[in-house]
Amino acid sequence: MFEQEITQYEEVRHEYESRIKAKMAPEDYMDWHEILFSCHSCAIEGNSFTVDDTRILKEQGLAMVPVGHSLLECAEMADHFRAFRYVVSHLNAPFDETLLRETNRLVTENTLAFRAPGAVAGEYTTEDMAAGDTIFGDHETLVARVPSLLTSTAEALQRDIHPMIVAARFHGFFEYLHPFRDGNGRTGRLLSNWILMHAGHPMVIIDIKERDAYIDALRQIRGEGTDEYLISFFFRVAVERMQNELTQKKRNTNLGLFLF
């Protein structure tokens, strides 16, 4: 299963890594992805920052609050920057509860008090959860399954399973467990990308335009008990993003031939 998706992904990935990633300074490449990923991941949760707003905040910090945005949105984005840097700097760490809880702590550090007064960033929920049109299961039962999910994911990384499949499966079941009071989506997307980067693969950035398709794929896990839709979604958005960036680079390279 997924042989066709894997073949297409690997063909595009090798071109992407040779034509884009390998030709950029590593720090510049990560800064670029930090801005894009933070912007779109927070936008999925309702943040209104654009890519340009995110870049300004990243470069100038809270001293320059983009026009039209609340301090809460700025704090959420700044928290995401710190969580991103933590994940990137711990790609050789064990995939365990320490990594998970610290990621969530950083993601929600300066916003949780506004959204869930009394909750502690990085601590599991002590109440049952609901989001959108979904009521999650008994929180004690779901939280108790988190260590098993982390262990099975770490074991899958040692087996002959494509990293994109591991990342998507982890993400789907993590969101199903929904173990924190806030930041489950951002935390899950960060750790799915930890899986990919740990394996030497490019990040998956889910564009805000894909939000409805993304939510529908997650619903299939709860509704039909299958993660096939989410895995296919991960492969598709990964391939399309790499193809779009390759096309953009070719276009901008060729454009330069006609300007001078």
What residue type is assigned to position 40 of the chain?
Answer: H
For the question of residue 178 being annotated catalytic, the response is yes
Q: Tell me the residue ranges of DSSP E strands in the chain.
A: 130-131, 134-135
- In order of 58, 72, 203, the CA distances from 62 in angstroms are 9, 11, 26
Distance CA 183, CA 127 (A): 15
* Cβ atoms 66, 72 nearer than 8 A: no
Scored b (16 or more CB within 10 A) or e, 168-197 reads: bbbbbbbbbbbbbbbbbbbbbbbbbbbbbb
Distances (CA, A) of 229 to 201, 216, 218, 221, 232: 21, 9, 8, 8, 5
Gap between the Cα atoms of 44 and 48, Å rounded: 9
Q: Which of 40, 178, 198, 201 is catalytic?
A: 178
Which residues lie below 8 Å from residue 112, measured CB to CB, with a gap of 6+? 119, 120, 121, 181, 182, 183
For 246, half-sphere exposure in the C-beta direction (CA atoms, 13 angstrom radius) is 16
Task: Give catalytic residues, as residue numbers.
Answer: 178
